[in-house]
Amino acid sequence: MSSNKRKLCRQELPIKKDGIVLIDKPEGMTSHDVVSFIRKRFGFKKVGHAGTLDPMATGLLIILLEGFTKESIRFSNYDKEYEATLKLGVTTDTADRKGRVTETENIQSGQRDPHLINEVFKRFEGEISQVPPMYSAKKINGKKLYELARKGKTLKREPRKVIIKDIKVLDISLPLVTFYVKCSKGTYIRQLAHDIGKQIGCGAHLVLLRRTKIGPFSVSNALELKRSEDRSFFTRKEEIYESILQPR
């Protein structure tokens, strides 16, 4: 492409350096992977995100561009909404399907009762104490917990208060239970699934997680990062620039 054509293309793009872009994160990428991809692929100098998603999780990730990287806390403080599926009867060391199975239990007839399952879920509505899982990005003494967990180390973690503003069962197809949850920042949905399984009495782990909303922002308005057969990511530059928001 000639230099004149390159200049023309740049002039046609609505260049908005500062702002946010909503991304529908695919499974398998870390939040840092998305940040790195957007920075390198589209030439932004500063890129960040507001609210980590596990590699297993999909859904809404707020990407902060240029000057908006300074406003991470503003967006991270929003409530989050998720749709998730847990599997009863199996416990793992990471509290999700990527972990090592540590315990299996038969689901007893009483534990299969939809009324019991719904009642247990509702016990978690409101302010609850939650112990951060060892396989998490939380730092203690400057070390990320998951880095220590991978070395076989376990640290004592103090429980912290989080708020489950709404939680409801969407479908029961045992051993799978799909549910919706709206919660405060800092809530670990993997740990929530683990604790729900414990209360039901047969254990559980998370098998699917999708973040659908962060505050007023919805995944329905997010730009999907598509994956080609050779596993390289592609998104047109126009799509990125046209998707940049400059919220108040």
pLDDT at position 230 is: 47
7-22 per-position pLDDT tens digit: 333 344 445 678 899 9
Q: Where are the domains of the chain?
A: 3-77+215-243, 80-213
Average pLDDT estimate for 45-61: 93
Structure tokens at 91: 């416990």
103-154 per-position pLDDT tens digit: 999 999 999 999 999 999 999 999 999 987 656 666 666 666 566 556 666 6
Centre a 10 Å sphere on the Cβ of residue 173 and count the other Cβ atoms it contains. Answer: 8
For residues 48 and 27, is the Cβ–Cβ distance under 8 A?
A: no
Structure tokens at 99: 């972990």
What does the alpha-carbon distance between residue 107 and residue 105 come to, in Å, rounded to a whole number?
6
Percent pLDDT > 90 in the chain is 58
Q: What is the pTM of this model?
A: 0.85
pLDDT at position 13 is: 43
- Name the CATH architecture for the domain at 80-213: 2-Layer Sandwich (3.30)
Structure tokens at 143: 């070390």
200-229 per-position pLDDT tens digit: 999 999 999 999 999 999 999 999 876 544
The catalytic position among 18, 24, 33, 54 is 54
**Quick one: CA dihedral 185, 138, 120, 194, positive or negative?**
positive
pLDDT at position 5 is: 36
Asked if CATH classification 3.30.70 holds for the domain at 3-77+215-243, the reply, yes or no, is yes
Residue reference for tokens 């240029």? 66
pLDDT at position 112 is: 94
pLDDT at position 56 is: 93
136-150 per-position pLDDT tens digit: 666 666 666 566 556
Average pLDDT estimate for 155-174: 90
Provide the 3-class DSSP secondary structure of residue 115: helix
pLDDT at position 40 is: 86
For residues 35 and 47, is the Cβ–Cβ distance under 8 A?
A: yes
Centre a 10 Å sphere on the Cβ of residue 41 and count the other Cβ atoms it contains. Answer: 14
Whether residue 54 lies in the annotated active site: yes
Q: Are strands 223-224 and 58-65 parallel, antiparallel or unpaired?
A: unpaired
- Say if residue 69's pLDDT is above 80: yes
For residues 160 and 187, is the Cβ–Cβ distance under 8 A?
A: no
For residues 97 and 205, is the Cβ–Cβ distance under 8 A?
A: yes
- To the nearest 10°, report the CA torsion of 190, 196, 201, 203: -10
